[in-house]
Amino acid sequence: MFKREVNKKGRLEIGGADAVELAEQFGTPLYVYDENYLRFMMRVYRDTLDREYDGNGLVLYASKAFSCMGIYALANSEGLGADVVSGGELYTALKAGFPAEKIMMHGNNKLKEELALAVEHNVGWVVVDSLWEADMLDGLSEQAGKVQNILLRINPGVEAHTHSFVQTATPDSKFGFSVADGSAMETAKKLLEKKHLCLKGFHCHIGSQIFEKHSFVLAAEKCFEFLSAFKKETGFEASVLNLGGGYGIHYTKDDPNMSFSDYADYFTALIDAVKYECEKRSLKRPFLCIEPGRSIVGEAGITLYTVGSIKEIKGIKKYLAVDGGMFESPRYCLYGSKYEAMLANRANEEPTEYVSVAGKCCESGDLIGEGFNLPKAKSGDILAVFSTGAYHYSMASNYNRNLVPPVIIVKDGKADYLVKPQTYDDLIRNDALPASLK
């Protein structure tokens, strides 16, 4: 769990820097990442793979959780691969100098241009999620005179306990092909016939923000049942297996407090299951991939806001309005996600009241969250919301023409931009006035 350090001035620290000084220097709202935390989490997975599985695999950072050039450069410097899910993520990774052969491309409806970009740059693997896509990719590879390595996304039908919007492997999921109804088998056989695609193995991902170790292990077992059945029918033995991401993080006291070693334990349990299944079914140990996103960047990030207007609706609730909102913190509105927060400039003060934190968007549902336990706040206080490193910046928008906040990374007290501030000119950059309106 991210350690909430308070300095001698009674202020929150992140990455060795005073959060209030960061707010003064860079303005608010501000996304702040702790570089050491990011690196530790990346190493936890990478070292576990090295130790428990002889490094025979790749930890792919699931960059949908937070994508910008700097995070790809950092993941690369820690020896990770990357999972990208759009042409935009792929382009960003490539521009950051990320090695294409360590990139795995996802998406349930990849566009032709996205696939063409992947083929052009020789990405390591494309995870095929439809036959329509496979035909398109086969054609593009043929045109380029290449053979593209692919995995097939299968749905092992494991239900994990998490918000239904972030579940992906339920029987009615739009992702993958069901093992249970035989469509995974049928599709994989067809892929073996493609001349310009080389099926390397399979992929599954059961959902996100999951704490039940058993769900991951069960999914791995189901995959091996399938691998084994597929080998019996076709003689094909998978050499790559990607078991997805989804490891949960601490948002509030309702979530387990995961330490670095807990994540190593989760991955070890998965690796043990893989080793056991290979032994039991006389299969070669596949090149093993996992794709953690949230657990790498989630707790590494906090968001700083300045408290503006404060409104009390007598006997009902108190609102602190901040300079952010659903445009930069959409998860409460989308999933009802809960967070913890503190006043960064008064970090030693005891909480005395429960408040709702509202954003500045023109929408009543625009809340950062409710039930925050804080000291009595004043306008001008700096509010820090924890565990905002995953799916915040990456899901931000310019709703109400608000500016997406800048992102900084802090190490040993020194801060630098990962993403510079937007300007109003950025907002109108692609606007066009048709001749008839000029």
Write out the catalytic residue numbers.
362
Q: Which stretch binds ligand LLP (CB under 6 A): 130-138, 202-210, 222-230, 362-370?
A: 202-210
In this structure, the number of other CB atoms found within 10 A of the CB of residue 268 comes to: 17
Among positions 29, 244, 286, 324, the unique one binding ligand LLP when judged by CB under 6 A? 244
| Sign of CA pseudo-dihedral 182, 186, 187, 191 | positive
29 cis-preceded (ω within 30 degrees of 0):
yes
Site residues for ligand LLP, 323-352, by CB under 6 A, read 331
Residues 6+ apart with CB under 8 A from 306: 23, 28, 29, 322, 323, 380, 381, 382, 383
Write down the least CB distance from residue 154 to ligand LLP, Å. Answer: 12
Q: Which stretch binds ligand LLP (CB under 6 A): 35-43, 129-137, 240-248, 263-271?
A: 240-248
Nearer to ligand LLP, 341 or 355 (CB): 341
Among positions 14, 62, 151, 243, the unique one binding ligand LLP when judged by CB under 6 A? 62
Does residue number 389 form part of the binding site for ligand LLP (CB under 6 A)? no
Nearer to ligand LLP, 70 or 176 (CB): 176
Q: Which stretch binds ligand LLP (CB under 6 A): 181-189, 269-277, 290-298, 420-428?
A: 290-298
Write down the least CB distance from residue 162 to ligand LLP, Å. Answer: 8
Nearer to ligand LLP, 222 or 346 (CB): 222
Decide if 382 contacts 22 (C-beta within 8 A).
no
Does residue number 70 form part of the binding site for ligand LLP (CB under 6 A)? no
Nearer to ligand LLP, 83 or 381 (CB): 83
Closest of 263, 266, 283, 167 to residue 223, by C-alpha: 283
Write down the least CB distance from residue 25 to ligand LLP, Å. Answer: 28
Q: Which stretch binds ligand LLP (CB under 6 A): 50-58, 93-101, 233-241, 292-300?
A: 292-300
Helix locations, 336-387, DSSP H: none
- What is d(CA 367, CA 358) in angstroms, rounded to the nearest whole number? 4
Main-chain phi, psi angles of 304, to 5 degrees: -105, 135
Residues 6+ apart with CB under 8 A from 11: 18, 19, 20, 344, 345, 347
Does residue number 208 form part of the binding site for ligand LLP (CB under 6 A)? yes
- What is d(CA 202, CA 227) in angstroms, rounded to the nearest whole number? 8
| Sign of CA pseudo-dihedral 224, 49, 300, 87 | negative
How far is Cα of residue 119 from the mean position of the Cα atoms in its chain? 24
Does residue number 246 form part of the binding site for ligand LLP (CB under 6 A)? yes
The contact set with ligand LLP (CB under 6 A) reads: 62, 64-65, 83, 106, 166, 168, 205, 208-209, 244-247, 291-295, 331, 390-391
